[in-house]
Structure 1
């Protein structure tokens, strides 16, 4: 049995390479590079009271967790515990419990009353032991970008533009409006521009040249964002504003983003969707994505 006393400590920017290496082992389908992770630790998002901890063993990062206030929902007092990672060789010794307790204690100080986290199917017994109830299943999918998907031909009146050429406030509007009815445990209905700019537009992994927006008769209607780390990418968000759905705009934007990413050296793309999000699952299937993993959102009341 490992003594976890002193094992868990607040994360430091210098931990970023170890955190990314750990994430590659535990969740190889998640994409966040070293510099992006370093910035996340050094400059946490405003309004969220974000904090993170690592577990060390023999000078190596073997565990990681972050916790914060969900500031993008109108539902009050919602806390999030994101991406609790423990290296497979260090499980079963209390590392995960120590990290979880650090995160829960932080959320208690913020006044959180409801907490959401995510668990792989094999970790659901751990989640249940700690008072969490599985809620919704998410599907993670991958797409080999060799060869690159063809650049789609948009219909008349539709333009597919790199995000780099568009005012970020217009992109935020599409992101916020498209997210209003996204399936989830809590609504994403309070996505302010400042925190969006910090977390999305200023994300060091955001590839603004590959990220693509669809413009219809001069109005921005759909977006597909690309988060990149070397030759791997993550679809940060793909969505269409209500009133313009059913025309294939999300698929056009995403295919163009995948094409541009592949042309600049990305070799594999990852994405995730709630299992109830049939429209986006259909888009991804048509683009050739294949399932690679699942996770469950898990909820707990916090007193």
Structure 2
């Protein structure tokens, strides 16, 4: 049996569906839909030089890779490489071939440092080590049984604080961009990111097919967005992609207020499962999620390889 690696055919619905299916099998803690896969490939900034690859065995897609440059980092030469193989199709050479193909491409695009997320299991970690990747930070995937969770009751916002949704900013989303840019800059990470391109943010983030603006809660203080909890949904599951507060308003419980409100909205909308993820160094957010009833269901470890 022969394994080959090629680009994802974004105009082929069957190929895109196979990519999403493999990702879901390998990483069921993140929402994957064909629409989201195509959106990421088509709308990622051109400077990222991004590609989506598949490993194919006798016509069946058994592995995937999403790769590109971190174009919005102030430090040049950084790149991402995330490879996942169908758990039922391991040890066929798909992962190694995807890594080699990805590294060759990224090196040709000027990458000098490659970052990859690796599931925290003995076989996965050993695979990364064999390919020259070193362990860095870790992040947890968390799950909440929203159908049966005893969510904390919603309290009335304090004076000067108002709860809105992202849908309220449909006509002018720039305040949401500014809120996102400030909070993501302080998120624990190996790579510093700066959101400066509003049009790119509109294309990649605001128009993402899984973004649920009605379930994304925005906490407004004195008329300005100060905190939010961003909700993604795929029709059956709900996930929070980012919860954060602007620096000047931290320490007042606004992030907790935003996420609690969003979870109540999600349950009222009929969602029974809530997913999220946190860097292991993000103590405040891990504490909020524990308070809400989330439980850790898996862990990934960030790895890095520096090219010569």
TM class by shorter chain equals: over 0.9
Q: Match for residue 102 of structure 1?
A: 101
The TM-score, its normalising length taken from structure 2, stands at: 0.92
Residue of structure 1 equivalent to 2:22: 22
Match of 2:7 in 1: 10
- 1:141 is matched with 142
Runs of 4+ with >3 A deviation: 41-46, 147-152
Q: How far apart are 1:96 and its partner, in Å?
A: 0.2
CA contact (8 A) 1:71 1:191 kept: no
Flag the 1:33–1:151 CA change in 2: closer, same or farther, 3 A.
farther
Asked if 1:241 corresponds to 2:246, the answer is yes
* SS in structure 2 of the partner of residue 204 of structure 1: coil
Q: Which moved more, 1:165-174 or 1:42-51?
A: 42-51
Q: 210, 220, 230: which is aligned to 2:225?
A: 220
- The unaligned stretches of length 5 or more in structure 2 are none
State the aligned residue count.
299
CA separation in 2, counterparts of 1:40 and 1:88? 23
In structure 1, the residue matched to 2:159 is 156
TM-score, normalised via structure 1 length: 0.93
SS in structure 2 at match of 1:98: helix
Match of 2:282 among 268, 277, 287: 277
> Aligned-pair distance for 1:157?
1.3
2:241 and 2:277 in contact (8 A); partners too: no
Gaps of 5+ in 1: none
C-alpha separation in 2, matches of 1:46 and 1:225: 25
Does the aligned pair in 2 maintain the 1:12–1:41 contact within 8 Å? no
Q: Find the aligned partners of 2:5 and 2:156 in 1 and give their Cα distance.
A: 52
Distance 1:260 1:151 in 2: 11
**Structure 1 position 59, deviation (Å):** 3.1
Question: Which residue of structure 2 lines up, in the alignment, with residue 90 of structure 1?
Answer: 89
Q: Over residues 85-108 of structure 1, what are the superposed CA-to-partner deviations in whole Å (9 max), with x where a residue is unaligned? A: 111222112110111112112211
Do the aligned partners of 1:54 and 1:61 also contact (CA within 8 Å) in 2? yes
How far did 1:126 drift?
A: 0.7
Quick one: distance in 2 between partners of 1:101 and 1:27? Answer: 21
Q: Quick check: 1:74–1:190 contact (8 Å CA) kept in 2?
A: no
The whole-number CA distance in structure 2 between the counterparts of 1:60 and 1:94 is: 14
Is the CA contact (8 Å cut-off) linking 1:152 and 1:256 kept in structure 2?
Answer: no
What SS class does the counterpart of residue 93 from structure 1 fall into?
A: coil
1:33 deviates by 1.7
1:249-288 matches, within 5 Å, as 249-288=254-293
